[in-house]
Amino acid sequence: MTEPTLNYVSCPDVSGGHRMAYWQWGDPANPHVVMCVHGLSRQGRDFDVLARYLCDDVRVVCPDVVGRGRSDWLQDPMGYQIPQYAADMLVLLAHLQQQSPIATLDWVGTSMGGLIGMAIAGQPGLPLPQPVHKLVLNDVGPVVEWQAIMRIAAYLGKAGQFASVQHAADAMWAISTSFGPHTPEQWLALSRPMLKPVPGALNGAVMLHYDPAIAVPVRAVTEASAREGEVLLWQLYDNIQAQTLILRGANSDLLSHATAQAMAQRGPKARVIEFEGVGHAPTLVAMDQVSTVGDFLLV
The secondary structure of 35-75, three-state, reads EEECCCCCCHHHHHHHHHHHCCCCEEEEECCCCCCCCCCCC
Given a cut of 70, the residues of the chain with pLDDT beneath it are 1
Q: In this structure, how many other beta carbons lie within 10 angstroms of the beta carbon of residue 22?
A: 27
Domain boundaries, the chain: 5-145+223-298
pLDDT of residue 1: 65
258 C-beta neighbours (distance < 10 Å), count: 9
pLDDT value at residue 202: 73
Q: How many CB atoms lie within 10 A of CB 292?
A: 18
How many CB atoms sit inside 10 A of residue 165's CB? 15
Helix, strand, or coil (residue 241): coil
Half-sphere exposure of 84 (CA within 13 A, CB side): 24
Q: Are strands 132-138 and 243-249 parallel, antiparallel or unpaired?
A: parallel
pLDDT at site 69: 97
Helix H or strand E encompassing 247: strand 243-249
pLDDT in tens, 123-140: 999 999 999 999 999 999
Q: Which residues contact 283 (CB under 8 A, 6 or more apart)?
A: 46, 179, 180, 182, 190, 289
Question: What's the CATH architecture for 5-145+223-298?
Answer: 3-Layer(aba) Sandwich (3.40)
At 133 the three-state DSSP class reads strand
From the list 28, 71, 23, 67, the residue with the least C-alpha distance to 47 is: 23
What angle, 0 to 180 degrees and rounded to 10, lies between the N-to-C axes of helices 223-239 and 146-155? 110
Tell me the pLDDT tens digit for each residue of 44-85: 999 999 999 999 999 999 999 999 999 999 999 999 999 999
- The pLDDT, as a whole number, for residue 259 is 98
292: CB partners within 8 A, 6+ apart: 245, 247, 273
What are the distances in angstroms from CA 108 to CA 14, 75, 270? 28, 28, 14
The model's pTM is 0.97
